[in-house]
Amino acid sequence: MRNLIYIFLGGGLGSVMRFLISNYTQKFWHINAFPMGTFLVNTSGCFLIGILTAYFLKVDNSLRYLLITGLCGGYTTFSTFSVENFSLWQNENYFILILYALLSLFVGVMMVFIGYYLVGD
């Protein structure tokens, strides 16, 4: 139960961080076509989950639920997607890596498209 509370708290904090960083970055970024706020959140989330994953492989404790699953998960799910792809790379599962990455991108965009058009324009 304690781990669920950690995930809950970290997820809330990560979501607020995502909103603030993305919002303020986009306000100061003058090229409106490029979604710099989301780009910054996704890339910094990947960097953060890399650091935390390396650390918690050496030190096993419940804070990984707060920081990796909760904070990084609330901040950006792209970081989880990236660390999963990194793990596939480390395990030399190259076919699954390519399949997962391409399918995730293609199916994700298609699901947004389908969902959008189901509701109507």
What string of H, E and C letters represents the secondary structure of 9-62? Answer: HHHHHHHHHHHHHHHHHHHHCCCCCCCHHHHHHHHHHHHHHHHHHHHHHHCCCC
**Is 90 part of a structural domain of the chain?**
no
**Is 117 part of a structural domain of the chain?**
no
**Is 95 part of a structural domain of the chain?**
no
**Is 88 part of a structural domain of the chain?**
no
State the binding site: 73, 76
Share of the chain above pLDDT 90, in %: 50
**Is 37 part of a structural domain of the chain?**
yes
State the binding site for Na(+): 73, 76
Average pLDDT over residues 19-26: 90
**Is 16 part of a structural domain of the chain?**
yes
Domain that holds residue 49: 2-76
Tally of domains within the chain: 1
Instruction: Quote the pLDDT of residue 75.
Output: 94
**Is 28 part of a structural domain of the chain?**
yes
**Is 113 part of a structural domain of the chain?**
no
The model's pLDDT over 35-69, given as tens digits with 9 standing for 90+, comes to 888 888 989 988 999 899 888 888 878 899 999 99
Q: Is 93 helix (H, G, I), strand (E, B) or coil?
A: coil
Full-prediction pTM beyond 0.85?
no
Torsion, CA 4, CA 8, CA 14, CA 19, rounded to 10: 150
Average pLDDT over residues 12-30: 90
